[in-house]
Chain A
Amino acid sequence: MQKTVDSADAYVIDGKLALPYSYFAGRVGSTFITALRDSRQILGVRCEKCHKVFVPPRQTCEKCMADLRENWVTVENTGEVINFTVVRYSDRHLPREAPYILAMIKLDGADTPMVHILDEVKSEDVKAGMRVEAVYSENTTSTILDIDHFKPVS
């Protein structure tokens, strides 16, 4: 459609959106976080039917819908890099200053990889299949960042 309006008076104003919220981790999520924080143990849940150990844990198996709440298993603090990427921009919502490495890490004893930060290694030296281990943070935030990062197994 042809534009017939006069835009002379149009202008732009700045605004801001600030929205507070809480997130309740629930019993399953809280068990995972408190074990990580208090005993430096990484927990998962096993689906007997699908023969899978999920880390981080979830209440139900996504495939067969079985209730997994009681099927706790402890997995190792070590695992292997399945895949990785390098974050090359900085933004206030990101956990680190760029550049840093984000890796999919499958822990020993788990069947599902989880995303975490890989550090103490140059990005050009990272390879799929690389052995890594968890480094716990000194200060707790009651989040997944109670593992500060993963580093290559020495």
Chain B
Amino acid sequence: MSEYHGIHIEDIFNSMKARFRPEGAAGVNHTFGYDISEEGKWRLTVKDGDMSLEKADDLSSCDVVMETDGATFVGLNIGKVDAMSALTAGKLKIRGDVNTFGITSKIFQKYVPPGAETTQEQELIALKQTISVDQRFATGPVMGKFLQGLKNKTILAIKCPSCGRLQSPPREACAICRVRNDEWVEIGPKGEMRMMEYCYYASPDPLTGETRETPYGAIGILLDGCQGEEVFWHLLRPDQLDRVQMGIVMGDRVRHGTRLRPVWAKNRTGSVFDIQYFEIDE
């Protein structure tokens, strides 16, 4: 058995029983696999507030499996290696749900290397707070007119009297020409998909803490009547992510993107989600 950072891997596994926290394991019912290259495989079963650990040849029955090397594994346990960094660098792989593996940090007390028990670290205070304030936003006349338009299933753009470009959502002025926009034009509602951000990772909404389901597609649509960079930003119907093509203009090369149409919400309140999403126009 090799040593990493002066610690035997067996020490970490053998001490698991002593470090087990039944209160942290309450309600947890999972099998965790540890596949440490050149060292061996272990299967940890946590069930009914108890645990068992065994060496195993086959981890395929486990809910989640960690694959890593000895140095990374020991490093993670003694706090020398950051899990996110190891994951990023490909030194740590998780088969199954990463968050499930994260539960183990609640189930076990931190591993303390033999001999290090007596050196007491200073307690460092960290305060957790949430700022929560109510806000009010005035739409103003221009954004207000646009949002009211959505209620009536129309998508409005505003036109620059100088350069003629369209903006939707609209803005009061054309920032390039520095003039007030004054003409309203109805655009779309159908158009061509130009750009899609195929999002595998969703940031939690800081207002609700909810995370959008992934994958999702944030798209730029060139609505009929628009040109060039005048794209409209919205979402794609979630089950159609793999069926669409982006349009592109690169020098003389022009490729048209998939034709899309809006799916209107039943109850429209003058918000971005008066359009549920765009879907393939077929």
Contacts and interface: CB of A to CB of B under 8 A. Distances in A.
B135 A11 contact: no
Interface of B: 122-142, 144-145, 147-148, 206-207, 270-271
A20 B132 CA distance: 8
Given A9-B144, A11-B144, A11-B270, A18 B124 contact: no
Interface of A: 5-27, 29-31, 33-34, 142-143
Contact of A13 (B123, B127, B137): B137
B29 to A, nearest CB: 29
Contacts of B126: 22-25
Given A25-B124, A142-B127, A18 B139 contact: no
A12 B135 contact: no
B130 A18 contact: yes
A14 B136 contact: yes
A7 B142 CA distance: 8
Given A19-B206, A21-B129, A22-B128, A27 B122 contact: yes
Contacts of A16: 132-135, 207
Contacts of B142: 5
Nearest to B148: A9
Contacts of A29: 125
Contacts of A10: 138-141, 144
B135 A6 contact: no
Contacts of B137: 12-13, 15
B135 A17 contact: yes
A15 B208 CA distance: 12
Given A18-B133, A19-B132, A30-B123, 5 more contacts: A15-B134, A15-B137, A16-B134, A24-B125, A27-B124
